[in-house]
Amino acid sequence: MLEQSGYRIMKLKGVPAPFPKALGPGFAGKLLLSINRFLILIWKRMFAYQIYIEASFVPPTDWLLRSAREVSSARISNLSGEDAR
């Protein structure tokens, strides 16, 4: 969905469930956290508690062209205004 909106995904990471916080820092919490991390490696979208995404916006080319034309027009009008003085 992000890619369709004009973003480029830089990093996509699965975040494991916080088993040690829920069960305590003992053996059970650490074991379930390790199992969850392993399962995330196999199938991230199924076993991740959350998905961490770093994305950057890639503006469409028509927007870039329009923006460049507006800036150029503004600079030309500023230069024309300075010549008239």
Residue 82 has what pLDDT?
66
Task: Give the domain range for residue 40.
Answer: 3-84
- CB 52, CB 15: distance < 8 Å: yes
- With a cut of 50, list the residues of the chain below it in pLDDT: none
Q: Report the domain count for the chain.
A: 1
Question: Given this model, what pLDDT does residue 83 score?
Answer: 57
